Structure 1
């Protein structure tokens, strides 16, 4: 398909027509399909943490081998996040999401069949590429379909499927691994790859992206199809489009380069949001990825009990995500992000002061830390797409995903280093709390508020 320079009149028209759409069954169905995909990407993400104790026992892994098993997928997610933004801004959001679904399923199958550690690490890396690519691309897509009014709830009620996937993955692992083994867990996780079929048939490409790429006729065609489906689902005529601010100046069909994330208003936005991504996920995964092992090795719990106790953090995290979705349009992005990081700091600080002398202390305060941490982290999937223009929104989201993965990689390593030094659990939680305290202060002082403004007004 030929691509011309973007016509700002077309972009204005597409934005105005999207903004006037009432919530409908069509929106819910699209959010559901993308949500199912994201649910299983999240389901897959933490399976390795819950499988690690059994894999370690079966293959006799050293501490280095266990750490590599935990982190290699995150390295793949980092690379996948970086590549997906570049790719999604060029070939489209839906194509990239579909590709990621297929690769994730194949990665699960390969891990289930791995005869030794090296093949498993390779397949986990490949799977990580897909997981890291799908999540920020899907966030860009959902944001581009939403309107400014109640965008926070619309996007985050979709994003809640991610922690829901983590929670179900934790619960499924706690039952499947002790009864059927870790290989069965990954075989089951490969089945949702069939969702790629429904993506291709049911989900249209983002009209905002098509218009930004200069595919004006296709953008109008897709927009007309969406309007017809919304009319059919609501049984009413659509209101007249209202003018949308933004999209000033001229542009080309080419996508923005990485340097564009550091020009003008975007420099501060980029530095702040990268910091929040890194700090939030360092704390989250530094804690949750090691919980099953801590319960087993420090408190000497049976593997089944250790896995069940670890699910408390996932359930609490899901509750935090729902709270974020219900309050973020009222409180604003900066307040919710600050509360999330600040609450994480307090919960981890209490753990450090108490000395973690009992299982009960770890269960309760790790759950509180997870609740606040998930509150901040899920809000980033709404906040980051709001900060960048359509021409490089996926790139902006994927670079946030890169710092997400850097945090995911760094968190477990920080915990491993502190534990190996013999400093004890108090030092582990004090170290992470100090990092989240810095993130809280940066967020409260420098994060830009975006609630109630159209994407075009925020990033012309």
Structure 2
């Protein structure tokens, strides 16, 4: 079915690929606040829940529900953001996402019981899922080919900064046990994003498709299938490679390795800092070295670090093995952040043709969030059942298998127009 386009004269101003760097940087900063809020809202609960548990008298099931509700909401938000972004434009959907972040954070700050907090987390999940789809999509579409990787990576940088900021905020307010203030800090970037999206231009790729009366493309179309296979596979690998098991459970892993984990928030801050530093290091490499080399280096490094971590956790606890386990964890996070972390989101925004780009990215994000939920829920039971070493070796096997997949299936997209990338994919379908 054809989607009736708006007349070109009524369309919002388009972003210019040759816009001055300062203007392009401003648009990127505004939109990438969605990435910061993505990271902040997924990370802040780790410290806030310590005090919410006491205030609301939550049992273990309710604690798990507070965490998993955001992940479920994110899966729904990711899938549900694709069609609106295609129909109404990227700019309007980004403004709606910013508004949803603001409403969800206000609801969390004002929550007076478990049910209201659960509703607030569900609303935040919708915003997080929408941001994970539409933010990298918009950035890829406004960027000139030579800068596309860097601009989309800005979203991943702010995502990791958001996680780190949430840990620091948790640490700051831990002494006063003020979990409402922890959530309230997030209102600053959410309101800034909401106001900023009113001033950004519309995506030129979206406007071009509307003007040309491009029909809505099917994700099962022959030219789209290779992009879908690559995007969905990397989405699953990003989670089944174990990253959020380390991010979510780092203090627990270190404690079981024999290291003191009383100050769990401080450990989280250290892991978060490594995550940010390695993602920043990826920025000059994304458009210089290319997507494929970074993916191969990242996945290979992850596999080696996970094998070594599994070995270290299987040895008797002691100063040497404990330090080795910690170093392996840090090395693993760094390997992920310099490659697979940002490159997956870049490719999800680059590979699909214009008429199905938003929906293709939405499906990739849906798979990513669903896998995130599965791994987050099963990691500790699996570790108790078969031992942490074997779980990390499973993650290593996934990472090693992904190396073969990248070599055989993933094209290089650096310094290439989106049209050229899709033409090559269509040729091999």
Residue pair 2:108, 2:120 contacting (<8 A) in 1 also: yes
Are 1:262 and 2:220 an aligned pair? yes
| Residue number among 271, 274, 278 corresponding to 2:236 in the alignment | 278
Residue pair 1:324, 1:379 contacting (<8 A) in 2 also: no
CA shift at 1:140, angstroms?
Answer: 0.9
TM-score, normalised to structure 2, is 0.86
User: Following the alignment from structure 1 to structure 2, what is the Cα–Cα distance between the partners of residues 48 and 457?
Assistant: 42
Output aligned runs, 1:36-435, within 5 Å: 36-56=33-53, 58-59=55-56, 61-214=58-211, 252-256=213-217, 260-282=218-240, 283-294=242-253, 301=260, 305-355=263-313, 357=317, 360-375=323-338, 376-421=340-385, 423-435=386-398
Question: Residues 438 and 414 (structure 1 numbering): CA distance in 2 closer, same or farther, change over 3 Å?
Answer: farther
Q: 1:3 — aligned with what?
A: 5
Question: Residues 253 and 54 (structure 1 numbering): CA distance in 2 closer, same or farther, change over 3 Å?
Answer: same
CA shift at 1:58, angstroms?
Answer: 4.9
Q: 2:26 — aligned with what?
A: 29
User: Following the alignment from structure 2 to structure 1, what is the Cα–Cα distance between the partners of residues 259 and 277?
Assistant: 29
Structure 2, unpaired ranges of 5+? 424-429
CA shift at 1:63, angstroms?
Answer: 4.3
RMSD of aligned Cα (Å)? 2.8
CA shift at 1:71, angstroms?
Answer: 1.9
| Residue number among 417, 421, 427 corresponding to 1:458 in the alignment | 421
Question: Residues 69 and 300 (structure 1 numbering): CA distance in 2 closer, same or farther, change over 3 Å?
Answer: farther
CA shift at 1:84, angstroms?
Answer: 0.5
CA shift at 1:70, angstroms?
Answer: 2.4
Question: Residues 24 and 306 (structure 1 numbering): CA distance in 2 closer, same or farther, change over 3 Å?
Answer: same
> How many aligned positions are there?
410
User: Following the alignment from structure 1 to structure 2, what is the Cα–Cα distance between the partners of residues 62 and 318?
Assistant: 33
State the SS of the aligned residue for 1:459.
Answer: helix
State the SS of the aligned residue for 2:363.
Answer: helix
Q: 2:427 — aligned with what?
A: none
Q: 1:230 — aligned with what?
A: none
Structure 1, unpaired ranges of 5+? 7-13, 217-251
Question: Residues 452 and 139 (structure 1 numbering): CA distance in 2 closer, same or farther, change over 3 Å?
Answer: same
CA shift at 1:193, angstroms?
Answer: 2.8
